[in-house]
Structure 1
Amino acid sequence: MSGHSKFANIKHKKEKNDAAKGKIFTKLGKELAVAVKEGGSADPANNSRLRDVIAKAKANNMPNDTIERNIKKADGDANAANYEHITYEGYGPGGTAIIVETLTDNKNRTASNVKNAFTKGSGSVGTPGCVSFMFDKKGQIIIDKEEYEGDGDELMMLALDAGAEDFEEQEDSYEIVTAPEEFGQVRIALEEQGIPMAAAEVTMIPQTYVKLTDAKDIAGIQKTMDLLEDDDDVQDVYHNWEMEA
């Protein structure tokens, strides 16, 4: 399994322009609101889901005051829209597998937009479960070596002692993998040591990766990714395309 592509994908997301960052913050704001509503508390100490979304927001460089403002707004707005979680699965070019997680208040609009994104990239939406078996649901924390100057072995021991399942060193990053239920405590252990995290979330990790060599296939899956990332209803996209760094 190639680990290189995971950090390449995260860098790709982080290097977006300011307009795209604004869109990411909007999506995170929606996720914070849903976490407050479904978790029953605006206090992260009493809402583990909210704690995890806050960690994800911080990893995406969302300012603390923006996070707090979104939480307060969600807590005080009884008339906030009811969002529904819907997951789509399908195939991109070259046999790539794609999972799309959405939060929507209009299922027909979202279904149409997701289908359009797949079609324009020469892919197709499949039935529920058609590709999710190719992924493992895991907590994933990625630390950029440019942001962390500490010792790799010490970091590994800290993570494993806190309950991590696996630790992998890459050329430009460290990756920590946890069971979903252990993610929070491992993340907190790193936070308490002031360790910067380039990514910190429960995610879907591919069991194997697909490398695309045909320029048309690469253009197609990139088209699908761009359309999905631009869709306000789409929260997360997981895929097994091995992106180049």
Structure 2
Amino acid sequence: MSGHSKWATIKRKKGAIDAKRGKIFTKLGRELMVAVKEGGPDPDSNSKLRDVIAKAKANNMPNDTIQRSIKKASGEGSTNEYFEMVYEGYGPSGIAVIVETLTDNKNRTAGDLRHFFDKNGGNLGQNGCVSFMFDRKGVLVVEKGDGIDEDALMMDALEAGADDFNVEDDCYEILTAPESFSAVREALEKSGYSFVQAEINYIPQTTTVLEDPESVKKMEKLIDMLEENDDVQNVYHTWEMPEDSEE
């Protein structure tokens, strides 16, 4: 399997940690708010909102919590304005890092991220400095289980317009072009499939193993600091995480 498949599986497992669930729900609520403000509260006419709802459900966000977030975002009392910002930089030993944020204060977010990179042996770079090392892909992950026929899922995915189909130890990974993501996801949902991951990601074209224990420690610390920051939605990188970091 290519590096991005392993990476996507690791990301899915890390995202399932119960201790982080409250923070994940807060960040998903912010994404729902932005989607509603951009295209309205009706998912039937707002494809971005449909995609965020699917992402929220894949992260086990309760439906009533999703609906409360949508209602709050569409109410007159919702005055927060969030900006979608993408930052690029280098971690220790030149590991490429992309950070997606939703922020109501660009200066605060940029300052925090610069501090995190500097403190852990990296540096925040200019837009475009590392994004060429990644492919932008829709990622749909279906958990293996009773009633899931691998060949049928693969055919359904490819017929719906998916680019690639990967088999992992415990799941199936479907990759799409960003512009095809919504159509493929909705077609598979109509066929009865559910997802443990459903989002558009930056997938590294190649990954790098860090041999130096100090660099590994700094990279782990950088990722932790970024993910703990309230403004950060997603962190992508070219580091091939060691096996014992999967859980």
Q: Normalising by the residue count of structure 1, what TM-score does the alignment of the two structures yield? A: 0.94
- Report 1:73-84 matches (<5 A): 73-77=72-76, 79-84=78-83
| Partner residue, 1:213 | 211
Cα distance change on mapping 1:179 and 1:34 into 2, 3 Å: same
CA contact (8 A) 1:167 1:177 kept: yes
Residue 141 (str. 1) matches residue 140 (str. 2): yes
Cα distance change on mapping 1:214 and 1:148 into 2, 3 Å: farther
- Report 1:141-180 matches (<5 A): 141-145=140-144, 147=145, 149-180=147-178
Count of residues in correspondence between the two structures: 241
Shift of 1:216: 1.3
Residue 200 (str. 1) matches residue 223 (str. 2): no
| Partner residue, 2:44 | 45
Residue 15 (str. 1) matches residue 13 (str. 2): no
RCO greater where, 1 or 2, for CA within 8 Å and sep 6 or more? Answer: 1
Shift of 1:173: 1.9
User: What's the C-alpha RMSD, in Å, of the aligned pairs?
Assistant: 1.4
Q: Distance in 2 between matches of 1:236 and 1:107?
A: 16
Identity, % of aligned positions: 55
| Partner residue, 1:127 | 126
1:9 partner amino acid: K
CA contact (8 A) 2:72 2:78 kept: no
Shift of 1:60: 0.8
| Partner residue, 1:57 | 56
CA contact (8 A) 2:138 2:178 kept: yes
| Unaligned runs of at least 5 residues, structure 2 | none
| Partner residue, 1:32 | 32
| Counterpart secondary structure, 2:44 | helix
Q: Normalising by the residue count of structure 2, what TM-score does the alignment of the two structures yield? A: 0.93
Cα distance change on mapping 1:144 and 1:216 into 2, 3 Å: farther
Shift of 1:149: 4.5
Q: Distance in 1 between matches of 2:172 and 2:149?
A: 11
Shift of 1:141: 0.7
| Unaligned runs of at least 5 residues, structure 1 | none
Q: Distance in 1 between matches of 2:99 and 2:76?
A: 28
Q: Distance in 2 between matches of 1:232 and 1:25?
A: 11
Q: Distance in 2 between matches of 1:239 and 1:115?
A: 16
Q: Distance in 2 between matches of 1:78 and 1:169?
A: 46
After TM superposition, what 4+ stretches of structure 1 lie above 3 angstroms from structure 2?
none
| 1:101-137 CA distance string (max 9 Å, x none) | 1111111111111112212221110111000011111
Residue 5 (str. 1) matches residue 15 (str. 2): no
Shift of 1:172: 2.3
Q: Distance in 2 between matches of 1:89 and 1:139?
A: 20
| 1:13-39 CA distance string (max 9 Å, x none) | 21241xx21111011101100000011
Q: Distance in 1 between matches of 2:223 and 2:192?
A: 33
| Counterpart secondary structure, 1:113 | helix
